[in-house]
Every structure is written in structure tokens, then in C-alpha cells.
Chains A and B, each alone.
Chain A
Amino acid sequence: MTLSISSLSISILSISILSISSRAIWLPQSVNMFRLRLIYFGEELRLAYNTPIPTQGKHTKPFWQGTQEGKLMLPRCQDCNRVHWYPRFICPSCHSTNLEWIQGSGEGTIHTFAVQHLAFGAWAEEAPYVTAYIDLKEGDRMLTVLRGVDPNKPEDIKVGARVVVEFDQASEDMHIPYWRVVEE
């Protein structure tokens, strides 16, 4: 991670220290990849997140707990052994409800991708960025914002390229998985 704070953001930081409010003050300086911003909570500097954070579903807790520990947990049917994604109440292959969670390898390949130039909300300021569907080693597919690629050189991004998962802390109790292209 590279961390550089411009004089502009330092001046904003100074203002925020003077502020009575303990609410987060957003600094315009990007840290690391996307969406991570330095924010100032009271007297503590933190990395924070301004793009959408999912609401945890009631049957997906094991997945989100896994991401906290750096594990990619995947739902698998105990009757037909197939892994499916997104997490279901019922196996979409054999309609069994005997489902379990297994730890995935965190490895996959690019199935297809696109470069988002027109984006909305907090993503608008990150454009262009690359979105991709990832074929999981265990089967089925996951959506991601792809890392380790240049959005201005889409012709260099290869369908089938190997990727590995990594996790970003988005809030107190949420880590979000992202996939990064492996340097071959």
C-alpha cells in the first residue's frame, strides 16, 4: 500500500482536527486502490469506505464471518456436492436443503470483464474501473471489481487469466472480497 497525503488533504485534516464534530471528515486523497479514504473519527485516523456496503442477509452470516478471517466461504450441497454462488435457501442443482459452508481456495479465472466509464454514486469518482465475473476454482461464478489491471488498457486484460481473492475492511464488521490478477 502506498500512502501519500498531499498538502491539500493535510490542510483539510487540520480543519477537521479543529472541528467539534466527531463525525467522519472525508479527505480527497486516495489511499491504495479504490474507495479507500482516510477519514478522521474523533482523534483516530482510519481507512474507510464510501461505495455501497452490502446488508448482511440472514442466511449468509458464515460468508461474512469468513471474510473477517480472510477466508472465502462457499455454500455447498451435501447431497450433490456442488458449490453454488450466490448463497441459496435451496440447492439450485438438485433442490436439496442440506447445505453446508466450505472454505474455498480463493483462486479463480476471469470469465469476462468490462471497463466502467459511466458510473453512479460513489463509484462515479472511481471511473474508469474494471468489473469482472470470476469463475471460481470450486465452480460457479462471482462478480468483482478487478484489481491488478489497467482500465485504460482493456486489450491487455485476458479472459481466462488467473486471479486470487483479497479482502478489504469496509466497516466495523464487514470485509468485502475483491479479486486480483496474478502476475504470471
Chain B
Amino acid sequence: MPGQLYKAAALVGAAEANEIGFLQEPATALQLHIEAIKNLSDQTGIPISKIEGVFSTGWSSELCEHLGIQPKYIDTTAVGGCSFEMHVHHAMAAIHSGIIDIALISHGENGFSARKIGGGGSGNYGRGAGNASPAHEMTVAYGLGGASSNYAHAMVRHMHRYGTTTEDFAHIAKVSRDWAMLNPRAAMYSKEKHPFGGPITVKQVEESRLIAWPLTILHCCMVADHGGAVFVVSPKIAAGLKTKPVWIAGAGESMGHANMLEMDDFTATSASVSAQAAYNMAGMGPDDMEMALIYDSFTITAAITAEMLGLAPLGEGHTLWKDGHAAPGGKFPINTNGGGLSFNHSGMYGMPLLIEGYRQLSGTAEDGVNGDPGKQTSARTCVINGTGGTLSTTSTLVLMADD
């Protein structure tokens, strides 16, 4: 009997870069990608702008950025030579589930040219690949370093456009700390746990050390250690387990850019698109959400994302925190673990979002191991949004408690 994906999708074209082999004139991996994609588009008559899913090893978002497209399914599975067959499998699943109709699977690797010009011999064409990335070439001279050096530009633009102030955003850091002080697992739980832990005031946030004006250090997440894992299983398996299920009602993903240089609107992210997809799948909207978990790499990230998720009007994301709604005891709890600002952030904060979402909606936020009273909320629905890169890529989930 055929499996569920039987004839779920078909290959409809195949093309290569203009020149392949041992190239006289060296090519970058990115160039090989682009030539093949252009030729595939010409061959099939499918415009590049109609591509809905992009599957490639390495830094797929930079490939999309170079093409000027924002697909709604992005896969960078990179596990060696068989990755592309896996991409086909993943694309079939995405197509079968109705998320996309047109998937691009792309390869570019300058194994020979890399000996002359470097960069991308492994099939990557992204950051750190030297001249393989023109975006890198045109930005490397200008003294941007960590994420903070980039994100500060978004905060300035938000302040310019909406008249917001650094004090407005400081409330987000203060509230994150209020939550962390209810969570003994939070790095900033107390002064005993960390010298900079325990209570903070808005004034302290404002007056802490400057990192990249207008960001002071308390506007920035920490960089700590974290490990986490979750299971996603079928309803059948879920029914036989001793743990409570939390249902994934909606999911969506999108991207705006890979490099901040290409960020069209510095006060908006693709979370508006990924959230809409997730809400649509769930048959719910922002008004149906009872709490939110938002990637707060910086206070500005949280504020903008709240706006993109439809939780607050444009330019007013910070009011959720400033007016106390997001705080412990408030009507719309946000980042109940303490967030990347005060709980933990190891570099990629997506996993802690999932863990806290599960704990809150399964009623195990105070699990009796370390729990203090006050952290468990009564929320039955939760919107989660992760942000990657420099406000570049986003993914949104809508979670629902059981029954």
C-alpha cells in the first residue's frame, strides 16, 4: 500500500550553472547557485519570484536575499552529499501538507575554484566566506561586530519613526527581570545566583554601560550556556504518554533578509508574515492569544515583534510592558521564564521559547523541582515567535493547551 507521500510531488525541471567542471575563470559558490537557478527558471517558465520554498545546504537565507525573494519555507539541512535527496523528501512533506506548491532545491559548490579564490569549497557561501559573499565584501570595512552593533540601528529608526524613547524600551528589560526573579532556573534570578542578578529599575537599565547607543548592556540579552530538547509526536503517540500534550495549532515561517544592509523597513520584521500564516493555520488571531513568548535578544526585538504579532499597534509594542500587562500578574504575560534578557540566551534562543511554551500550557511551569509560586500562568493559548540573524528570519507557532 502506498505511503502518504506517494506521488505527493514531482520534479519538473533540472538545470546547471553556465559553466561547470574545472573552470578557467574561477566562480564563487553563490554564482554557481544563481546561474543554475536562472537557467532552471528559463527552462521551466517558473519565475524566480514564484518560488515558495528554498532548500539548500548552508546559508539559504543569503541565497534568498541575493535572489530578492522571501519564501515561506526555508530549509538548510546540511548533512553531507545526501542532503539534496533529503531536501526532496522535506519538500514533498511541505507540498503534501499544503504549505507550498513550488520548491527550489539548489546547489553551488566551487570545489576547484576555491583553491584559487577561496570561499565556499564546502558548499557554503555565507558569512565568513570572504569574497564569496558580496554583502560581506561591502560591509566588512565598517566596524560592525556583534548583534548589538546591528540591532541598535533598528532602535534608532523606531525612535525616529514613532517617537519612542530608550526609557520606553527599558521597561521590557525591567519586566523580564521581574519574571526571572520568580524562576530559580533563570541566570538573573537573584544577586546570589549572579552578581548582576536580582531586581533592576528602569533607571538602572537606562544608566547601565553603553554597548551601542542607544543600547545599554541591560537592553541586551546575555550570552550563557543552555541545552534543551522537545518531542513532537503524532496524536496517536501523544495519547499513550504520561505527559500532557500541548498542541501545535499553527506554524509559519518567513524571512526579510540575511544581512541588515538589506532590511527594507528597520521597524518591521517578517514576523508579520510568519504570524499570519500561523494564525491562519490555527484559525485564531492575536486576540485569541492569552500569553506570548517572544525572542528578546534586545528590548527593541521584543517591542517590534509584539507589533508584528498583532499584539499591539505599530509603534506601541513597548506599552505591553510599560503598562504592566506583560508583567507577573498582568493580563497578558510575556516571556514568563525571564526571556533572553534575564532567563538564559546562549546565542540561539529558539529552544528556551519552546520549553517555556510547553511548561506553561501543560501546567508544569512550577514543577516542584525548583519552582517558586507565581510563575505558572492560567494561559491556555500562547503565541511564540523566534527571530534569527539580524532581525532577518522569523518563525511563529500558536500553541494550545489540551482540551
A-B interface, 8 closest residue pairs, ranked by CB to CB distance from nearest: A92-B68, A114-B152, A115-B213, A112-B157, A123-B143, A89-B34, A159-B160, A55-B131
Residue of B nearest to A126 (CB): B143
Q: A57-B28, A89-B34, A95-B38 are in contact. Are A114 and B156 (CB under 8 A)?
A: yes
**B230 at the A/B interface (Cβ < 8 Å)?**
no
Binds B, one of A16-24, A37-45, A80-88: A80-88
Q: A114-B152, A117-B211, A117-B213 are in contact. Are A55 and B145 (CB under 8 A)?
A: no
**B212 at the A/B interface (Cβ < 8 Å)?**
yes
Show 8 A/B contacts (Cβ-Cβ < 8 Å), sorted by A.
Answer: A56-B137, A57-B132, A60-B138, A87-B138, A89-B30, A92-B66, A118-B145, A119-B145
Identify which of B38, B155, B209 contacts A97 (C-beta below 8 A): B38
The reply to whether B160 and A90 contact each other, CB–CB distance below 8 Å, is: no
Q: A58-B117, A112-B157 are in contact. Are A117 and B68 (CB under 8 A)?
A: no
**B47 at the A/B interface (Cβ < 8 Å)?**
yes
Indicate with 1 or 0, residue by residue over B1-33, a CB within 8 angstroms of chain A CB atoms: 000000000000000000000000111101100
The reply to whether B38 and A88 contact each other, CB–CB distance below 8 Å, is: no
The reply to whether B143 and A141 contact each other, CB–CB distance below 8 Å, is: no
Q: Taking A86-B261, A88-B134, A119-B145 as given, write out 13 further A-B residue pairs in contact, using a Cβ cutoff of 8 Å, ordered by the A residue number.
A: A51-B143, A53-B141, A55-B137, A86-B135, A89-B35, A95-B38, A97-B38, A112-B160, A119-B149, A128-B210, A133-B261, A141-B261, A142-B138
Identify which of A60, A90, A118 contacts B34 (C-beta below 8 A): A90
- Distance of B30 from chain A, by nearest CB (Å): 7
Residues of chain A in range 68-91 having any CB-CB distance to chain B below 8 Å: 85-91
- Residues on A facing B (Cβ under 8 Å): 51-60, 85-93, 95, 97, 111-121, 123, 126, 128-129, 131-133, 141-145, 154, 159, 170, 176
The reply to whether A143 and B261 contact each other, CB–CB distance below 8 Å, is: yes
A92–B62 CA distance with the chains assembled, in angstroms: 12
Q: A131-B153, A159-B160 are in contact. Are A88 and B140 (CB under 8 A)?
A: no
**B369 at the A/B interface (Cβ < 8 Å)?**
no
- Distance of A111 from chain B, by nearest CB (Å): 7
- Residues on B facing A (Cβ under 8 Å): 25-28, 30-31, 34-35, 38, 41, 47-49, 65-68, 117, 130-132, 134-146, 148-149, 152-157, 160, 209-215, 259-262, 266
Q: A97-B38, A131-B142 are in contact. Are A58 and B48 (CB under 8 A)?
A: no
The reply to whether A114 and B214 contact each other, CB–CB distance below 8 Å, is: yes
A112–B248 CA distance with the chains assembled, in angstroms: 38
The reply to whether A54 and B140 contact each other, CB–CB distance below 8 Å, is: yes
A59–B34 CA distance with the chains assembled, in angstroms: 13
A176–B142 CA distance with the chains assembled, in angstroms: 10
The reply to whether B68 and A95 contact each other, CB–CB distance below 8 Å, is: yes
B25, B31, B65, B212: most-surrounded residue (chain A CB, <10 A): B212
User: For the complex, would chain A's binding face be called helix, strand, loop or mixed by DSSP majority?
Assistant: loop
List the B side residues contacting A128 at CB < 8 Å.
Answer: 210, 213
List the A side residues contacting B157 at CB < 8 Å.
Answer: 111-112, 159
A58–B213 CA distance with the chains assembled, in angstroms: 36
- Distance of B264 from chain A, by nearest CB (Å): 9
The reply to whether B149 and A114 contact each other, CB–CB distance below 8 Å, is: yes
- Distance of A91 from chain B, by nearest CB (Å): 8
A90–B134 CA distance with the chains assembled, in angstroms: 12
List the B side residues contacting A114 at CB < 8 Å.
Answer: 149, 152-153, 155-156, 212-215
A59–B35 CA distance with the chains assembled, in angstroms: 13
Q: A55-B137, A92-B67 are in contact. Are A120 and B49 (CB under 8 A)?
A: no
List the B side residues contacting A87 at CB < 8 Å.
Answer: 134, 138
A126–B138 CA distance with the chains assembled, in angstroms: 20
- Distance of B156 from chain A, by nearest CB (Å): 5
The reply to whether B154 and A116 contact each other, CB–CB distance below 8 Å, is: no
- Distance of A163 from chain B, by nearest CB (Å): 14
- Distance of A88 from chain B, by nearest CB (Å): 6
Identify which of B131, B138, B152 contacts A86 (C-beta below 8 A): B138
- Distance of B91 from chain A, by nearest CB (Å): 21
The reply to whether B141 and A54 contact each other, CB–CB distance below 8 Å, is: yes
List the B side residues contacting A142 at CB < 8 Å.
Answer: 138, 261
List the B side residues contacting A90 at CB < 8 Å.
Answer: 34, 38, 48, 66-68
